[in-house]
Amino acid sequence: MRNFIELINVIIHWFCSSQVLETDFGLKVFWNGIFDFEVIIPGTYFDQVCGLCGSYDGDPTNDFIKPDDVLMVCQFICFLKSQL
């Protein structure tokens, strides 16, 4: 049985008890198969992203803010509920 899938520039495999998706540009998504996700991006994206995973600029107070400075209220509430 194969324990990984390799697509063009994407590898999906198991690491400990998590499934991992890795891209050729350094994005890694870990999923425990139930609820928990962890998203890791390279430092080259510092201050270049925004959205549900945060702004990755070192300031947690502006996470969940869209580029038009609107708070993603629904997504934020859903995220908090998932942490309970």
Quick check: helix, strand or coil at residue 71? strand
pLDDT level of residue 11 (50, 70, 90 thresholds): confident
Q: What is the pLDDT of residues 51-83, one digit of tens each?
A: 667 788 888 888 777 778 777 766 656 666 676
Query: What's the pTM value of the predicted model, to 2 decimals?
Result: 0.62
pLDDT bucket at 1, cuts 50 / 70 / 90: very low
Residue found under tokens 């600029």: 57
Question: In a 10 Å sphere around its CB, with 0-12 CB exposed, 13-18 middle and 19+ buried, how is residue 64 labelled?
Answer: buried
SS3 7: strand
Beta-ladder partners of 19? 14, 31
Could you tell me the end-to-end alpha-carbon distance of the chain, in angstroms, rounded to an integer? Answer: 35
